[in-house]
Chain A
Amino acid sequence: MTPEELREIDQDIAVHGARAGDFVRLGDTDLVVRVESDDRQIGNELQIGFGKNARDGMGMRSVRSDESCDVVITNVLVIDAIQGIRVTSIGIRNGRISAIGRSGNPDTMDDIDVIVGSGTVIIPGEGLIATAGGIDSHVHAMSPRVCDAALSSGVTTLIAQEFGPFWGVGVGSPWALQHGHNSFAAWPLNVGILGRAAGSTTAPLFEALEGGVCGFKIHEDTGAHPRTLDTTLTFADEHDIAIALHTDGLNEMMNVDDTIDVIAGRAVHAYHVEGCGGGHAPDVLRMAGHDNILASSTNPTLAYGVNAADEHIAMIISAHGMNPELPSDVEIARRRVRNATMAAENRLHDMGVIPVTSSDALGMGRADDTWRKTFAMASMFADSAILDGSVAADEVITSNERVLRHVAKITINPALVHGLAHEVGALKVGLLADIILWSYKSFASKPNMVIKGGIPAWGVVGDPGATVANAQPLIIGPQFGAFGVAPADLGVHFTNNASTTSVAGRRSVPVQNTRTIRGRDMLYHGVLGDVQVDPTGNTVTFNGEIVTSEPQSRSSLTRTYLL
């Protein structure tokens, strides 16, 4: 190409962002995606600003919002497990996605899907990436600030297990639950609380159900016994609620195969399936690859790093009420930490065997690290795209499928596992407009804007006394959707059909379809097979083949971005 053509291309990218066929590198990773399509018509691209075309009678139709939309995000690069990787516009009405496609005024532009009206809020998406809000299905809300951390990382839905600062692993008391729901309504987040399944009878489960839990947590710290497991799963089948499971890490009453037998084909969410976070030692990873066991990872073992094992022993002792002075505590903590299962876990993610990533926030994971670690892990396995022109555009090896697989792990798949997919998890017409906008350069590391129920609720804000909104120091913090009574209204309380609990100002939504969900339903995943961990914990196989990966000395999305 001539220098003139190269200059024109740079200018066009600066104004319009990526177009169909362009290659976009995500942050500082080795992940390069190719834009599959672009809904814009060249020459009729909608743009807001001085001298631009989103004006009365041009790109903007003089109609009310109910004939157009409340908000439009224009010409943004969508990365979504359902939409794929494409440039399009997203229309929002009454807090939900109302239309996806070409935006503008049908009076003057062809094939408009998203009608922009005189009163439509226009959020320019050119040069930005839009994903669905992250869903963190494993959160210990040991501190209210965990909500700030989650929002600051692009997470808009939490499945919480307590509202600390006490170790709960589920909450049983309806009185306590009511206060938890009331408190969470202060954040522009969707929150469901897991009840504690520590009883061998159903009476404690019933009261938590009426108290508005969205599911239950079975945890070895409160008893992951065969009776507890069976009672809870039977109860779950009766009430359509999800069950999260942290198995018997001591093998005190069962080995991993016994646990799988007690589950007996019923749907269950297997937390931190690698095992550092807890569960049958050394072989809880064996639970991955089963159709009824929806497995997830927590973020400290992701993007398997050279220091991963070393940080975990102290972490286990600190998180689980153990004492470093007690040799037996140190010994059982040590048994949970195995390099081989971490190395295998990362590979099983890339293969599509483990469908979900989560944090384990304040309980052995980082609330604001799941997007970052999920994509740093994806980058571990990426082939570098050759973009010097020596390879024809259509033959460049890109990471589109790998990127969609990894975005599914933190959006649609946890939504499906926890029965939230009728409200959140994807950029789909009808779902809540929980949308994260990222710059290309900081994708998955630091969000630019967190849109909750259609309203900017969190994101980059600058010097409040400046002439412009982007003056340093830029920090990631609350936007208007996080103030007044807006947060209660913008977020959802995820609950169950038998709940008798309501939350002032907040909509309560029962979870759905939690009992029929299977591994095969997981988008970009569903690879089933036999995972074996040898008794030493030093070798992992999948269908007889060794699965492993190399520890990373340098993780993507990290050093470049974090102070």
Chain B
Amino acid sequence: MELTPSEQDRLLIFTAAQLAQSRRDRGLKLNHPEAVALICHAVIEAARDGVTHAQALAIGQTAVRSDELLPGVASMLFGVAVEAVFDDGRRLVVVDFPDSDADVPGQVTRLQPTPAPESTEVVAVDVHNDSSVQISVTTHMHFFEVNPRLRFDREQAYGRHLHIPAGEHVDFPSGSTVTVNLVPITGERVIIGFAGLVDGPLDAPGAKEQAMAKAKALGYLDGGAS
């Protein structure tokens, strides 16, 4: 058979699925490994039958029913990933079990919403995208140094970043103007790297003026008063 390590791994899924199936046939409720094995097995065999990726995913989602699961198992069947051999090659299928139940192992309960980031010293800046493509800017980018093709009051953005939850971003579609809120960069306020416009302490004497001059010389679009 000349089986590869991945093919041998599929046999583990098959064996576990056969075991789970025999337990299901006896009327037992399925636990986490049993349910995962049956879902993966269903996807792999659907692919072998020649169905499409979308069809295999649908088959995986219905491979087990809520009433066949032990309490708590439904919530654990999130992001079940398996690679199956389709006619056009091996493909990754990620199955999220569609149902839930009230019993959730590891459940996190929050009784009040998390407060938003503190928002002193917010400035609003209108940003126009002169570029032919959409530009996206993330939270902790030094906004002053973003893509030169964004036109806005660069001086206002000096030493600031977007006032949005960490890890999120703002999209600037080509040709559009978007208003963003910016807040001061915290910590020691030292900006190293980025486009090299500052490369040092933000608040050093003359640092801002020097950065403004450098940005201008390099052709960064600026919608500010100057």
Co-complex (A, B): yes
Listed in ascending order, the chain A residues whose CB lies under 8 Å from chain B are 1, 5, 8-9, 12-13, 15, 17-19, 21-28, 32, 41-47, 49, 51-53, 55-59, 61-62, 104-110, 112, 387, 389, 393, 439-443, 462-468, 470-473, 475, 559-563
A53 and B5 CA atoms in complex are apart in Å by 37
Across-interface contacts of B148 in A (CB, < 8 A): none
* B72-A560 in contact (CB<8A): yes
18 contacts between A and B (CB under 8 A): A21-B111, A23-B111, A27-B106, A42-B116, A42-B117, A42-B118, A47-B167, A53-B139, A108-B188, A108-B191, A110-B187, A462-B81, A465-B83, A466-B81, A466-B83, A472-B13, A473-B12, A560-B73
Contact for B189 among A17, A108, A563, CB less than 8 A: A108
A21 and B110 CA atoms in complex are apart in Å by 7
Q: Which residue of B lies closest to A474 (CB)?
A: B36
* B5-A26 in contact (CB<8A): no
Across-interface contacts of B81 in A (CB, < 8 A): 462, 466, 468, 470-472
* B13-A464 in contact (CB<8A): no
Over the window 100-119 of chain B, the binary record of Cβ atoms lying under 8 Å from chain A Cβ atoms (1 yes, 0 no) is 00011111111111111110
Q: Which residue of B lies closest to A18 (CB)?
A: B108
Write the nearest CB–CB distance from B2 to chain A, whole angstroms. Answer: 14
* A465-B6 in contact (CB<8A): yes
Q: Which of B26-34, B203-211, B218-226 contacts A (4 or more CB under 8 A)?
A: B26-34
Q: Which residue of B lies closest to A467 (CB)?
A: B92
B192 at interface, CB cutoff 8 A:
yes
- Given the contacts A1-B113, A13-B110, A58-B140, A562 and B33 also touching, CB distance less than 8 Å: yes
A12 and B83 CA atoms in complex are apart in Å by 29
Write the nearest CB–CB distance from B26 to chain A, whole angstroms. Answer: 15
What's the A-B contact tally at a CB cutoff of 8 Å? 193
Across-interface contacts of B112 in A (CB, < 8 A): 1, 21, 393
Contact for B106 among A55, A58, A393, A442, CB less than 8 A: A442
* B105-A25 in contact (CB<8A): yes
Q: A44-B166, A110-B187, A466-B6 are known; give 16 further A-B pairs, CB within 8 A.
A: A12-B165, A13-B110, A42-B116, A42-B118, A57-B192, A62-B193, A107-B187, A108-B189, A109-B186, A393-B112, A443-B106, A472-B80, A473-B9, A473-B37, A475-B12, A561-B33
Over the window 74-116 of chain B, the binary record of Cβ atoms lying under 8 Å from chain A Cβ atoms (1 yes, 0 no) is 0110011111000000101000000000011111111111111
A465 and B82 CA atoms in complex are apart in Å by 11
Interface centre among B79, B115, B190 (most CB of A within 10 A): B190
For the residues of B in contact with A, the DSSP-based class is loop
- Given the contacts A1-B113, A5-B113, A53-B167, A44 and B106 also touching, CB distance less than 8 Å: no
Write the nearest CB–CB distance from A20 to chain B, whole angstroms. Answer: 9
Q: Which residue of A lies closest to B141 (CB)?
A: A58
Over the window 29-50 of chain B, the binary record of Cβ atoms lying under 8 Å from chain A Cβ atoms (1 yes, 0 no) is 0011110110010000000000
* B187-A28 in contact (CB<8A): no
Over the window 54-72 of chain B, the binary record of Cβ atoms lying under 8 Å from chain A Cβ atoms (1 yes, 0 no) is 0000000000000000101
- Given the contacts A107-B187, A108-B140, A562-B31, A26 and B70 also touching, CB distance less than 8 Å: no
Across-interface contacts of B107 in A (CB, < 8 A): 24-25, 440
A319 and B31 CA atoms in complex are apart in Å by 31
Write the nearest CB–CB distance from B200 to chain A, whole angstroms. Answer: 10
Contact for A473 among B16, B31, B114, B169, CB less than 8 A: B16
Interface centre among A22, A58, A463 (most CB of B within 10 A): A463
Q: Which residue of A lies closest to B31 (CB)?
A: A560
Contact for B118 among A5, A27, A43, CB less than 8 A: A43
Contact for B108 among A13, A46, A442, A468, CB less than 8 A: A13
- Given the contacts A466-B83, A473-B13, A108 and B186 also touching, CB distance less than 8 Å: yes
B138 at interface, CB cutoff 8 A:
yes
* B106-A440 in contact (CB<8A): yes
Across-interface contacts of B154 in A (CB, < 8 A): none
Across-interface contacts of A61 in B (CB, < 8 A): 192
